[in-house]
Structure 1
Amino acid sequence: MTCYVFPGQGSQKVGMGETLFNEFSNETKQANEILGYDIQELCLTDPKNQLNQTQFTQPALFVVSALSYLAYQKENPTHPAYLAGHSLGEYNALFAAKVIDFETGIKLVQKRGELMSEASGGAMAAIIGMSATNIAKTLASNNLTGIDIANFNEPNQTVISGQENDIKKAQKIFEEAGVRRYIPLAVSGAFHSRYMEPSKKAFETYLESYIFSEPTIPVIANVTANPYTQTDIKTLLAKQITHSVKWVDSIAYILNKQESDLIEIGPGKVLTGLINKIKKGIETNAVTH
């Protein structure tokens, strides 16, 4: 059984998509018209240093991963048993499942990126070398109740999200508790936390005008770690902004069905590394463009 997974923010890099833009010139032109800027220039040379800004990162990653998927499908036309994406990557999974078309995907992630980039005053940090259960206990015992768990990435890598002062305060506490590493992340807001509620509400309103198709392939939702149904797509896409990315549980859901080959489609190999740690010994490949 094969499953395709798509990366999220943090996998972007200058030069991504180099082999794709000319091959898929019509889609590239369509992306340029929707976004109002040259997506190829942004991804290949980033002349204005915008690629790491959320409102540009999200459309760029969606386009490159979508084109990577189309290229991979040319060579491997069989359909996977499951699809999943990490945060932003979930939109690529929905594209691959024909829930949304290319144009709709670009419009959705452009709006999502704009709304998320408006969040300020928040911070995030990755904690390596402590289980999510012990992280939650440490937060509670130190009265850090304003911090949420944003990403359950792998058994020993969890991302927390909250106000900047709380994330700074937590660093000393976790380092004294013996974590391997505490890494503040270069983000503009407290993504996947309660502090993104204004962005979530605005996105909820934006989603009202869209009609989504039934998934042709099961897509595992970040919020629930279960497959989407047609009726919960809008609700879950909005909730994803304020809720944890349950990546460990999502991969576990797929692996519990039967032995799987998980293939990462899009720039980088971040998810391949996480999946290897979630399930050591599984054959995990990466398709990088």
Structure 2
Amino acid sequence: MFNALSAPKMIGRLIHKRLKSSLSRPTTVLVFPGQGVFSVEHLDFLSKRVHVEGVEELLEEADDALGFTISRFVRDPKANLGGYIESPIQKTSIQQPLLLLTTKLLAKVIREEHGVDMFNDPVVKPHYLLGHSLGEIIALVMQDVIDFRDGIKFCSQRGMLMEKCVASYYQVGDPQRVSEDQFKMFALVFPSQIFDHVLKFLRNQDQISLSNINNFQQIVISGLESSCLVVVSRLKEHLAELKLKARIRAIDLDVKVPFHNDILSPVKGGLDQMLQAYIGAPILGNKIGYKPGEMKFPVVSNLDGCIQTYAEDQIRNIIDVTSRPVNFLKCLQTIQELSEEVKYINFGSVTSGIISKFVSDKRSGVHAGSCTNIALDTEEGLKTIRKTIQNASQST
């Protein structure tokens, strides 16, 4: 068998050029969110569906795998999210496994309550999967490259490695400076006309990291708060010198860990040691196993926007992008190059918002009305999915 490790980009393009010509329906992409602020409304939605077949078992499996009751955030979210900023849910090692759990729960609820299997129903079955940051790991779990039990442990341990990495930086620093200058992430929002100027300027700023290139109107930077604020100020001055009158907003994302920042480079070694490919019986002990070989659903990689068909290639990219930028914009451009008509089905509203800005932007080259963008964590999104299935049934 040909080893895709030798030429992953070429293999992806060849396979999907052939797939593109055979599509009889819009190219469907399931999109999985990254870490962010949890919606109390969404957790409340899930809490009212604990009785749904299979949900209780999944919650118990998550608790057993992690050794603590992460299910409490689903069972009684309002009680456990009081004072959100001080809540344990703000910890990266809690948010990451919880995001996987809630994504898995949502897929199960949609299947049991609405009769739609997002991975097998012929109307919505994906041609590709796309994750944003942590969402790339979720994409592997959802298609069983990594089983759920291993996946939720991996998300938790990944979060702990990140927390320890940041804590070690503070321990060797000046205590007074640490108390005054924490790591931050800022989403910079601006008109798409100045995207090239903003990106070029940020790439030349050594004191911060470029964390996410989300679309033509949003780039996320990370670093010490003082450095980020200085860079934002200099960026505004730079644009003024170029006589570009455009407003830039810097939104504090209120996180403790600067994701996709150079400081997280040591984490990659820990992730690499943790993951181990297996064929046959799953790995026992502290190792996290994954199934190598061709994946059921190709994944568009955050690292470079290329299509990955083999699990080992995508695992390597996920580890590598830990301290490098998520190029979500490049992922969306790759998808649009493959098909004129695309249906994005998001397991979270944040990625849906990012994609909406992309498809409505003239720079994207997307034709009006050629893209559908659905968020499954909203009632409107669920209604759209049901209607899509019903319409397809009536036409056959």
When normalised by structure 2's length, the TM-score is 0.67
Q: Does 1:115 align with 2:161?
A: yes
The change in CA–CA distance for 1:202 and 1:50 in structure 2 (over 3 A counts) is same
Aligned to 2:95: 57
Q: 3-state SS of the aligned residue for 2:313?
A: helix
Kept in 1, the 8 Å contact 2:145–2:290? The answer is no
Q: Name the SS of the counterpart of 1:224 in structure 2.
A: coil
Q: Any stretches of 5+ residues in structure 2 without a counterpart?
A: 1-26, 167-181, 240-245, 277-286, 361-367, 379-396
Question: 1:73-120 deviations in whole A, cap 9, x for unaligned?
Answer: 452232211111111111221122221111121011111111122243
What residue number does 2:134 align with?
Answer: 88
Per mean C-alpha deviation after superposition, the further-off stretch among 198-207 and 209-218 is 209-218
The percent of aligned pairs where both chains have the same amino acid is 27
Letter in 1 for 2:291: F
Q: Is 1:237 paired with 2:318?
A: yes
1:40 aligns with: 71
Aligned with residue 7 of structure 1, among 24, 30, 33: 33
Considering only CA atoms, is the larger Rg found in Structure 1 or Structure 2? Answer: 2
Whether the aligned pair in 2 keeps the contact of 1:123 and 1:164 (CA below 8 Å) is yes
Q: Judge conservation of contact 1:50–1:56 (CA < 8 Å) in 2.
A: yes
After superposition, the Cα gap between the structure-2 partners of 1:21 and 1:115, relative to the gap in structure 1 and judged at 3 Å, is farther
Q: How far is the alpha carbon of 1:68 from its aligned partner?
A: 1.3
**Equivalence for 1:76:** 116
Q: Which SS does the other structure have where 2:345 is aligned?
A: strand
2-side partners of 1:132 and 1:211: how far apart?
38
Contact 1:144–1:166, Cα closer than 8 Å, also in 2: no
Cα offset for 1:132?
A: 4.6
1:84 match: secondary structure: strand
Match of 1:212 among 291, 299, 317: 291
User: 1:86·1:247 contact (CA, 8 Å) conserved in 2?
Assistant: yes
The structure in which a higher percent of residues are helix is: 2
The residue aligned with 1:262 is: 344
Aligned residue pairs: how many? 285
Alpha-carbon offset, residue 7 of structure 1: 1.0
One-letter code of the match for 1:180? I
Deviation of 1:175 after TM superposition, in Å, equals 3.8
Residues in 2 aligned to 1:225 and 1:139: alpha-carbon distance in whole angstroms: 20
Q: Given the superposition, is the C-alpha separation of residues 221 and 192 from structure 1 closer, same or farther in structure 2, using an over 3 Å criterion?
A: same
Look up the match of 1:26. 57
> Partner letter of residue 67 of structure 2?
G
Matched, 1:226 2:255: no
Equivalents in 2 of 1:83, 1:211: separation in Å?
17
What are structure 1's unaligned runs of at least 5 residues? Answer: none
Tell me the SS of whatever aligns to 1:29.
helix
Choose from 348, 352, 364 the match for 1:272. 352
Of residues 332, 339, 346 in structure 2, which corresponds to 1:251?
Answer: 332
SS at match of 1:217: strand
How far apart in 2 are the matches of 1:272 and 1:124?
20
Q: Which residue does the alignment assign to 2:206?
A: 145
The residue type equivalent to 2:374 in the other structure is N
TM-score by length of 1: 0.90
- Return closer, same or farther for 1:93/1:19 CA change in 2, 3 Å cut-off: farther
Q: 1:279 to 1:285 in 2, by over 3 A?
A: same
Residue 49 of structure 1 and its aligned partner are, at CA, apart by: 1.0
Letter in 1 for 2:214: N
Give the equivalent residue in structure 1 for 2:145.
99
Moved more, 244-253 or 33-42: 33-42
